[in-house]
Amino acid sequence: MVKLSPLKVWGAFLARPNADPVKTLGVAFLVALVCSIVVSGTAVYLKPLHDANRLRASSGSLVEMAEALGVGLPKQRLVDRRTGTYVERSTGEKVTLTAKQDLAGLNRIEQTLTAYEVHDGDQLRLLILPVRGAGYQSILHGYLALNADLNTVAALTFYQQDETPGMGARITEKQWQDLWRDKQIGSGDGVIRLRVVSGAASGSHEVDGISGATRTGNGVSNLVQFWLGEHGYGPYLARLGQRGAS
């Protein structure tokens, strides 16, 4: 019996003609294997740096937003998503949303949400909510700031996205984000009417869409609807509203 040494097998493999099917499949497999190891190795090795950068971008964007609105640093509150009550610490628990609930295309959502409140003495002055949702080809991450009436938008900003440059990516432009100021979420009946329309907006519940970026606009509409709705910050907003009224 011929002894098979790895080196001999390797040599025999290389010696095969290039047109040989075994050689073709083998080369394809080996190239794919080596490339995937290199790519995933790099991704894993650099992950801590990527996470740190994203965190910095997100907190930097929050600070920027607070500064632009002329308020001090907001206070971070942890909120139970289902009851809207404050909690001391995050449970870290995540649940899967049903297709019907999952307007923002998130799939899974954490049970403990983060919100940022700005107070003026005893009165709530501003509420900043971290929001995210699927756009056209990426997940959009941003902050939505509401005035104390909890129905008027103070600002909307996105700090992370990967939409088409010059089209969907224009949601990061100040010009477009400024359109959101003073828009109304609903008209007091609990229905969330605020959305992005294609073309020019009419009324205080609509925001001009970006031409060529209808699907990004829909993504923004959906994430706003989701996070303000009953599966997002809805219970928390309702509780804050009651407290303000009493």
Number of alpha helices (DSSP H) and beta strands (DSSP E) in the chain:
5, 10
Q: How far is the CB of 53 from another protein (least distance, A)?
A: 4
> In this structure, what are the phi and psi dihedrals at residue 91, rounded to the nearest 5 degrees?
-80, -20
Angstrom distances, CA of residue 48 to CA of 54, 59, 126, 140, 158: 10, 17, 33, 21, 22
Please report, as residue ranges, which positions from 28 to 87 form the binding site for another protein (by CB under 8 A). 28, 31-32, 35-36, 38-39, 42-43, 46, 49-50, 53, 56-57
CB of 199 to another protein, least distance (A): 23
Query: In this structure, are strands 112-120 and 75-80 parallel, antiparallel, or unpaired?
Result: antiparallel
Residue 38: CB minimum distance to another protein, A: 6
Residue 184 Cβ vs another protein, minimum distance, rounded to whole Å: 32
Each residue 98-127 as x (binds another protein by CB under 8 A) or -, in order, gives ------------------------------
Q: Tell me the C-alpha distance between 211 and 159, whole Å.
A: 21
Residue 206, φ and ψ in degrees, nearest 5: -120, 145
Q: Does 95 bind another protein (CB under 8 A)?
A: no
Single out the segment in contact with another protein by CB under 8 A; choices: 12-20, 108-116, 145-153, 229-237.
Answer: 12-20
Rounding to the nearest 10 degrees, give the CA dihedral for residues 128, 49, 173, 75. Answer: 10
Shortest distance, CB of residue 168 to another protein, whole angstroms? 11
Quote the tokens at residue 224.
Answer: 């706003």
CB of 143 to another protein, least distance (A): 17
What token pair was written down for 135?
């756009």
The binder of another protein chosen from 6, 70, 92, 165 (CB under 8 A):
165
Query: Does residue 197 contact residue 211 with C-beta atoms inside 8 Å?
Result: no
Chain residues that interact with another protein, rule: CB under 8 A: 14, 18-20, 23-24, 27-28, 31-32, 35-36, 38-39, 42-43, 46, 49-50, 53, 56-57, 162, 164-165, 169
